[in-house]
Chain A
Amino acid sequence: MRIKRGFFYQLRDRKVRAAYIFLIPILAWFIIFIFAPMFYAFYLSFLDWNILSPATEFVGLDNYKAVFRDKVFWKSLRNTAYFAVGSVPIGIVVSLCLALMLNRKLALRAAYRTAYFIPVVTSMVAVSIVWKWLYQPTFGLFNFILERLGLPSQGFLTSPKQAMPSIILMSIWKGVGFNMVIFLAGLQAIPRMYYEAARIDGASNWKLFTSITLPLLKPTTLFITVISMIGSLQVFTQVYVMTTGLPTGLGGPNYATRTVIMHIQELAFKFLKMSYGSAMAWILFIIIMFFTLVQMRFLRSGTEY
């Protein structure tokens, strides 16, 4: 029979005490830098505060109502959703394909793995600046190649229709190595005996993939999908860097690439609407939490072999 012991009773055990002591620094970090600011932002979202003045006024739900009336917020949310829907599924498929290719006995396999991982460890700002010049319509490398192939040059970041796909492409290129490495670890954890048994039964490669690989990769796929979705809904750096200084203005032509985080950053730090920005940040948090829970519910593994 298991006897439940209270927290303070458990602390009498030296090993338990040691465990909690080692946890204190990271817990303190989480409380000071994550939870405390989050709850302070929640408190601020019910006030009217412009960061410079110590004076604050309680405004109740006014900031939240203003968010729902803000047309730029809805445009930013659509752009953010566009980015997420465009980058996450394609990124997962590409990284899974790469992982499947690298999960074989290949010459220079380590070199390929390194090559695909290098963009991951490169600074996002540096990569964004380079890609911004690659996309430059008049002097950029991409249009140079298109013209050499006899194709018309494109506007890329300066075109309202092409701006977001251009950023999605760059983001996939940069992030695919990270997901590939995680998928590789997942693939290597699948016992080979399942494949051997299935081959003996005459299963084709496609059947092996759909009946063994994919189901047993579900926990890995769930992890990658959740992390990628969270990251994509918070996209900021590459959009900011790639659209700063463009003739079409920050956020792309007619806000074509303006995301929610960009809108929050501008509201809070350029227009001094700290409380309004806090309300918007909490709405985004709720949206991300909702999608995370939905994904975890539907992608939860039911496969046991």
Chain B
Amino acid sequence: MSKFKIVCLSIIAVALLINLFVVNTPVAAGEVKFWAHYHPPRIERNHDEIKRFEEANPDIKVTLEHFPYGELWDKLLPAIAAGTGPDFIHVHGSWTTLFVQSNAWEAIPEDVLSKDYIEEYWLPSSLPSYYRDGEYYGLPYATGGEGVYLNVDLFSEVGLDANQPPKTWPEAIEAGKKLTKFDEAGKMMQSGWALIDSHLYWDTTLFQFGTDIITPDGKKAAFNNPQGVAAFKWRRDFITEHKLQNFEFLGAYEAFQQAKAAMACFGPWYGDLLVKDYPDVKFTTSLVPVLKEGDDPVVSTIGGGWGYAVNSRSKNKEDTWEFFKFMVSKEEQIFMFMVEGNPVRKDVIDDPKIPELVEKTPYFKAFIDSMPYYKYVGDKVNEMLFNRAFEMAWTSMVQEGVSPEDATAKAAADVDEVLAEKK
């Protein structure tokens, strides 16, 4: 055989060997790959949970990999498509439609957790986001919740008491105006209420103005009506008329962390972050204000909250379901109390340990108090695109002078397009 042919055949042989041994490494039996996005308080607790689970199940090894928020989705798609994805996934309820339509998540088998059990123990408002075509495709361990964070020092600088928070939006706006500061050139230096990029999603505003967001059949936007237009106008006026924040200023997270925002809306997970990473920011929390005195509060569950799901292509489903049962159990949900959102199991909420935990961490109270007022938005199909419709409407009203009527209609049309993706 000539030297040339020997060299060519050698290259092909090496390539085949690499493909066989490196690319197709089989999953070890008893190993569960767990992917989650990086939120330091939760990851710390996840490691504790894994340790406890492995002690109780010595034949199962759980490997946790975490990714920056926003990158989990980007990593998950090609990994699942290539068959190298995780077995157990930390997911958000708003992802369910897209993943279930693609048969990427496994329905919870009856012998793992029966539907009767799930419906007996989970809060009804937390379940729809994980329920499709008669099956549960995962379960939440925390639901999205909104509460107002108030900077105690900034309040006292202007003679206000953050422990007597505004209860209605007119009161909040008046307080916000006193707390907003501008320099001599008219540039905002402190926001009285950082609404942009906060967790006061459009869902809650629209609910407060008395309109639904999605029609009961889940196919169309339901807010293109006078109440919806009023809500859009209210959001516009927050910036253009009351001038409590603007698009040139910092976003709500940065502003509050740097003590340049007196009030902003976030979930309970933000409190832990402030305590650990921004200890100089003294804060308290309260319920989201209502439109007028006498109104009941209303809080969006923001697409159903964070939970867990099992990859339908997992090669180790039995062990993965064991881990799933452990992670959604009452004990683990108490352990994860308020790390990400409000609790979702009724037996957790009624447990005597909860009042003790709330007493140790006073800022939890506002979130616990908001739980009776949860309202599920509906299946947004693709939450990012859905929410973007409102963000675009907002910037068009504020920066381009589009009328609230036109902005509402455009947002509704964009939302209709998103909902049409549901098969």
B246-264 CB mask vs A (1 if < 8 Å, else 0) is 0111110000000000000
Contact check, A249 vs B391: say whether CB atoms are below 8 A apart. yes
- A52, A159, A255: residue with the most chain B Cβ atoms closer than 10 Å: A52
Tell me whether A246 and B102 are in contact in the complex, defined as CB-CB below 8 angstroms, given that A17-B4, A254-B392, A271-B382 are known contacts: no
How near does chain B come to A69, taking the closest CB pair, in angstroms?
12
Tell me whether A270 and B248 are in contact in the complex, defined as CB-CB below 8 angstroms, given that A51-B81, A153-B185, A254-B400 are known contacts: no
A170 contacts the other chain (CB 8 A): no
Q: Which of A233-250 contact B (CB under 8 A)?
A: 245-249
**Contact residues in B for A254 (Cβ distance below 8 Å):** 392, 395-396, 399-400
B385 contacts the other chain (CB 8 A): yes
Tell me whether A248 and B249 are in contact in the complex, defined as CB-CB below 8 angstroms, given that A17-B4, A160-B399, A160-B400 are known contacts: no
Which A residues contact B (CB, under 8 angstroms)? Answer: 11, 17, 21, 24, 50-53, 136-139, 143, 147, 152-153, 155, 158-160, 245-249, 253-255, 269-272
- A253 touches which one: B102, B247, B251, B421 (CB < 8 A)? B247
Which B residues contact A (CB, under 8 angstroms)? Answer: 4, 7-8, 11, 73-74, 77-78, 80-81, 98-99, 101-104, 185, 187-189, 196-197, 247-251, 382, 384-385, 388, 391-392, 395-396, 399-400, 421
A11-B4, A50-B98 given; name 11 further pairs at CB < 8 Å.
A21-B4, A24-B8, A136-B250, A137-B249, A138-B188, A247-B197, A248-B399, A249-B388, A253-B247, A254-B392, A271-B382
Question: A248 vs B185: C-alpha distance in the bound complex, in angstroms?
Answer: 22
Tell me whether A269 and B74 are in contact in the complex, defined as CB-CB below 8 angstroms, given that A17-B4, A160-B399, A249-B392 are known contacts: yes
**Contact residues in A for B395 (Cβ distance below 8 Å):** 160, 248-249, 253-254
Question: A222 vs B191: C-alpha distance in the bound complex, in angstroms?
Answer: 51
How near does chain B come to A29, taking the closest CB pair, in angstroms?
12
Question: A155 vs B188: C-alpha distance in the bound complex, in angstroms?
Answer: 12
**Contact residues in A for B103 (Cβ distance below 8 Å):** 52-53
A-B contact pairs, 16 of them (CB 8 A): A51-B77, A51-B78, A136-B250, A137-B248, A138-B187, A139-B250, A147-B185, A158-B247, A246-B251, A247-B248, A253-B247, A254-B400, A270-B384, A270-B385, A271-B385, A272-B77
**Contact residues in B for A143 (Cβ distance below 8 Å):** 187
**Contact residues in B for A52 (Cβ distance below 8 Å):** 77, 80-81, 98-99, 102-104
**Contact residues in A for B98 (Cβ distance below 8 Å):** 50, 52, 272
**Contact residues in B for A50 (Cβ distance below 8 Å):** 98, 101-102
How near does chain B come to A132, taking the closest CB pair, in angstroms?
12
Question: A202 vs B396: C-alpha distance in the bound complex, in angstroms?
Answer: 61
How near does chain B come to A275, taking the closest CB pair, in angstroms?
13
What are the 7 A-B residue pairs with the smallest beta carbon separation, nearest first? Answer: A52-B102, A137-B248, A53-B102, A247-B196, A52-B104, A247-B247, A51-B81
Question: A254 vs B394: C-alpha distance in the bound complex, in angstroms?
Answer: 9
Tell me whether A158 and B4 are in contact in the complex, defined as CB-CB below 8 angstroms, given that A51-B78, A249-B388, A253-B399 are known contacts: no
Question: A258 vs B99: C-alpha distance in the bound complex, in angstroms?
Answer: 27
**Contact residues in A for B391 (Cβ distance below 8 Å):** 249
Question: A11 vs B248: C-alpha distance in the bound complex, in angstroms?
Answer: 66
**Contact residues in B for A136 (Cβ distance below 8 Å):** 250
Contact check, A24 vs B77: say whether CB atoms are below 8 A apart. no
**Contact residues in A for B104 (Cβ distance below 8 Å):** 52-53
How near does chain B come to A59, taking the closest CB pair, in angstroms?
14
Q: In the complex, which residue of chain B has the Cβ closest to the Cβ of A252?
A: B395
Q: In the complex, which residue of chain B has the Cβ closest to the Cβ of A151?
A: B185
Question: A248 vs B250: C-alpha distance in the bound complex, in angstroms?
Answer: 10
Question: A179 vs B4: C-alpha distance in the bound complex, in angstroms?
Answer: 42
Q: In the complex, which residue of chain A has the Cβ closest to the Cβ of B85?
A: A52
Q: In the complex, which residue of chain B has the Cβ closest to the Cβ of A156?
A: B248
**Contact residues in B for A155 (Cβ distance below 8 Å):** 247-248
Question: A160 vs B402: C-alpha distance in the bound complex, in angstroms?
Answer: 14
Question: A53 vs B103: C-alpha distance in the bound complex, in angstroms?
Answer: 6
Q: In the complex, which residue of chain A has the Cβ closest to the Cβ of B194?
A: A247
Question: A53 vs B100: C-alpha distance in the bound complex, in angstroms?
Answer: 10
**Contact residues in A for B421 (Cβ distance below 8 Å):** 271
**Contact residues in A for B80 (Cβ distance below 8 Å):** 52
**Contact residues in A for B185 (Cβ distance below 8 Å):** 147, 152-153
**Contact residues in B for A247 (Cβ distance below 8 Å):** 196-197, 247-251
Contact check, B102 vs A138: say whether CB atoms are below 8 A apart. no
Question: A254 vs B397: C-alpha distance in the bound complex, in angstroms?
Answer: 10
Q: In the complex, which residue of chain A has the Cβ closest to the Cβ of B4?
A: A17
How near does chain B come to A164, taking the closest CB pair, in angstroms?
14
**Contact residues in A for B382 (Cβ distance below 8 Å):** 270-271
**Contact residues in B for A11 (Cβ distance below 8 Å):** 4
Q: In the complex, which residue of chain A has the Cβ closest to the Cβ of B391?
A: A249
How near does chain B come to A156, taking the closest CB pair, in angstroms?
9
Question: A254 vs B251: C-alpha distance in the bound complex, in angstroms?
Answer: 17
- A272 touches which one: B102, B247, B392 (CB < 8 A)? B102
Contact check, B247 vs A248: say whether CB atoms are below 8 A apart. yes
Q: In the complex, which residue of chain B has the Cβ closest to the Cβ of A265?
A: B74
Question: A152 vs B248: C-alpha distance in the bound complex, in angstroms?
Answer: 13
Q: In the complex, which residue of chain B has the Cβ closest to the Cβ of A154?
A: B248
Question: A12 vs B77: C-alpha distance in the bound complex, in angstroms?
Answer: 49
Contact check, A270 vs B73: say whether CB atoms are below 8 A apart. yes
How near does chain B come to A62, taking the closest CB pair, in angstroms?
15
Question: A11 vs B104: C-alpha distance in the bound complex, in angstroms?
Answer: 51
**Contact residues in A for B101 (Cβ distance below 8 Å):** 50, 53
Question: A188 vs B173: C-alpha distance in the bound complex, in angstroms?
Answer: 67
Question: A80 vs B98: C-alpha distance in the bound complex, in angstroms?
Answer: 30
Contact check, A21 vs B7: say whether CB atoms are below 8 A apart. yes
How near does chain B come to A216, taking the closest CB pair, in angstroms?
44
